[in-house]
Structure 1
Amino acid sequence: MTFWIVAGLAAFILGLSKGGMPVVAILSVPLLSLLMDPALAAGLLLPLYLIADCYALYLFRKAFSVRNLKILIPAVGVGVVIATFAVSSVPADGVKLLLALIGFSYLFNAIRKRLAQREVEPKPADVPRGLFWGTLAGITSYIAHSGGPPYQAYVLPQKLEKMSYLGTTAIVFACLNWMKVPAYIYVGQMHWQSIQQALWLAPFALLGAWSGAQISRLLPEKIFFLLIEIALGLVSVKLLYEVLFQ
């Protein structure tokens, strides 16, 4: 019973991210890892991501950044390939520390610019930065469904309109999650039993996606992105705490 309660909560949080609250998804694997191996937790959640992705694509299908898609989709694919062959040699704490530093670095720059009280010009999408951050997002997403911080570090400075941001995010991560399926099956992280468990949890993921969509649509754009930055900061603190004290 404890497993199903925790797994249902992890599925709901995952769904929230697909409905328009992207950064909170990084909490799902650590939450489920309290009761099972992190690699198996990632495998159990992947089918739920695929189901929730379909809903997210439907919700945000009308607005997206074509240029970002052209840059990021190949980049995350490269990241998945790298992670597939290198994951066994990458320490979990090293990945957590990297994600925390990325989050803190972005937030530090954002706060510094706000304190300087000057309007920051949007950074346009560019290939070198997109390939770097996209590849990193593919690697960290493969390991623990935690591609959010690298993705945010690249996309948030562009200051996309809210629905375009959500649509771009939905498409990139839907493609990324399908790219992970063959590798997860090959290494045994996803199997028939985990797929059956995921089907029982699917209603929680869809409920979360619906809830996230209602919240994201009601929030004004400035508050929406401020909440994403706050969530990014909380997640970064959590990851750093796990590295230093657990």
Structure 2
Amino acid sequence: MIDDPFFYIAAIPAVILLGLSKGGFTGVGMLAMPLIALVISPIRGAAIILPILIVQDAVGVWVYRKAWDRRNMAILLPGAFAGALLGYLFAARVSDEAIALAVGVISVLFGLRRLFLERGGRPLEPSRPGIAAGVLWGGMSGFTSMIANAGAPPFQVYVIPQKLPKEMFVGTGILFFAALNWFKLPLFIALGQLTGDSLKTSFVLFPLAIASTWAGVLLVRKVPAERFFTLIYLLMIVVGAKLLWDGGRGLF
């Protein structure tokens, strides 16, 4: 188990961000891994974070167990599983920086477009993208989640235009990533990233993980639907900008 106090200075806010994300503020959890990477290697950090995500998923799935969209799950999950498997096969060959840069561009452009069109007095009508688009964005979500822990933006690009009710949007995202994380678990084990030491460190952080997820659930329910989606767009832009910075710095 890690006993370095500097690790916990970074890990505690990271776990809180993950909890808020699993409670409904989808995307903000992507800011957690950069914090962890300040004090330990990203690979070791991913091994510690994955069991925490699974525990937080269990809380979120229980809360939103009746509020999720079956059509989206049926379309997105097969592509996501295939994408995660592809990410596992190419884990040693694909540049994290290139993936971060690509996802960052998508996040920023999509978030800005939705924000300015809807804030500019032109509310967009709900639309249901097709099956092919869902398989594509689901696959990209699974791939980027496996490679760079950046699966939220592709999921949001597909689901946000549908303008689902707030709780259904949140519940679908939580159930989608819960299933994806369980699928990724044996892949991380095969990569040799999960050890007894990492699991002990994860276990110490479980109480904070559960408490922060419940906090996210309570906060989401207090935010009006219109403000909630505006906040999601802003989070996409912030997270996208962070990915652009990380990817650009690494490549150039």
- TM bracket (short chain): over 0.9
CA contact (8 A) 1:57 1:170 kept: yes
Determine the structure 1 residue equivalent to 2:221: 217
TM-score for both structures, normalised by structure 2: 0.93
Q: Distance in 1 between matches of 2:119 and 2:7?
A: 45
Q: Distance in 1 between matches of 2:112 and 2:101?
A: 16
Is 1:171 the equivalent of 2:187?
no
- Counterpart of 2:244 (choices 231, 240, 246) is 240
Where do residues 1-246 of structure 1 align in structure 2 (5 Å cutoff)? 1-114=5-118, 117-245=121-249
Letter in 2 for 1:180: K
Q: Distance in 2 between matches of 1:81 and 1:174?
A: 16
Structure 2 residues without counterparts, runs of 5 or longer: none
CA contact (8 A) 2:142 2:180 kept: yes
Q: Distance in 1 between matches of 2:58 and 2:244?
A: 32
Moved more, 118-127 or 64-73: 118-127
Q: Distance in 2 between matches of 1:10 and 1:224?
A: 22
TM-score for both structures, normalised by structure 1: 0.96
CA contact (8 A) 2:115 2:230 kept: no
Q: Distance in 1 between matches of 2:93 and 2:151?
A: 19
Query: May I ask how many residue pairs the two structures share in their alignment?
Result: 246
Moved more, 44-53 or 11-20: 11-20
CA RMSD of aligned residues (A): 1.4
Identity of aligned residues (%): 34
Q: CA deviation at 1:112?
A: 4.9
For 2:198, what is the secondary structure of its paired residue?
helix
Q: Distance in 1 between matches of 2:172 and 2:95?
A: 30
Q: Distance in 2 between matches of 1:19 and 1:114?
A: 25
Q: Distance in 2 between matches of 1:116 and 1:58?
A: 37
Post-superposition CA distance 1:100-132 (Å, at most 9, x none): 111022123214533663332212142111001
CA contact (8 A) 1:12 1:205 kept: yes
For 1:89, what is the secondary structure of its paired residue?
coil
